[in-house]
């Protein structure tokens, strides 16, 4: 277990989940860093992921105009990356490598 607040989802159980965290919201100023380093936790404890485009847009919208990234979470899981779900439903992971991140073409995939 990562902490008392996070519940580790086992590799096999998370593959069976219907709502895997497949989205991440960010803003344009962070895209060059994400393209180079992937999604990293920085000052936070974990990287936050979302199940829906709307949820990702809401989180990213706090910092500006959201850009939605698609995350290959099922592939990450198969390759041994752990996911956690906090009691309030937020999906967390340690980092998302660039190879698991799909960027919108031209970074124009802004949430409405």
Q: Calculate the alpha carbon distances from 59 to 26, 42, 80 in Å.
A: 8, 16, 26
The confidence score (pLDDT) of residue 20 equals: 73
Q: Is residue 108 part of a domain?
A: no
Number of domains in the chain: 1
Buried b (16+ CB within 10 A) or exposed e, 10-43: eeeebeebeebbbbbbbbeebeeebeeeebeeee
**pLDDT band at residue 17 using 50, 70 and 90 as cut-offs:** very low
The confidence score (pLDDT) of residue 37 equals: 96
The confidence score (pLDDT) of residue 4 equals: 42
Q: Rounded to whole angstroms, how far apart are CA atoms 51 and 5?
A: 19
pLDDT digits (tens, 9 = 90+) for 57-103: 998 999 999 999 999 999 998 999 988 888 877 899 999 999 999 99
CATH label of the domain that carries residue 52: 3.20.170.30
Using the predicted structure, report yes or no on whether residue 49 has a pLDDT greater than 50.
yes
pLDDT digits (tens, 9 = 90+) for 34-45: 999 999 998 989
**What is the pLDDT averaged over residues 39-53?**
92
Q: Is residue 2 part of a domain?
A: no
Domain residues for the domain of 50 are: 7-100
Residue 71 token pair = 């995350």
Q: Is residue 105 part of a domain?
A: no
């Amino acid at each position: 277990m990562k902490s008392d607040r996070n519940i580790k989802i086992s590799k096999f159980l998370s593959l069976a989940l219907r709502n895997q965290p497949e989205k991440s919201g960010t803003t344009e100023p962070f895209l060059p860093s994400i393209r180079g380093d992937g999604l990293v936790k920085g000052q936070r404890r974990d990287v936050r992921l979302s199940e829906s485009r709307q949820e990702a847009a809401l989180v990213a919208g706090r910092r500006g105009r959201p850009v939605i990234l698609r995350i290959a979470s099922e592939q990450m899981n198969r390759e041994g990356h752990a996911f956690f779900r906090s009691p309030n439903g937020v999906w967390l992971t340690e980092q998302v490598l660039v190879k698991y991140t799909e960027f919108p073409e031209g970074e124009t995939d802004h949430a409405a």
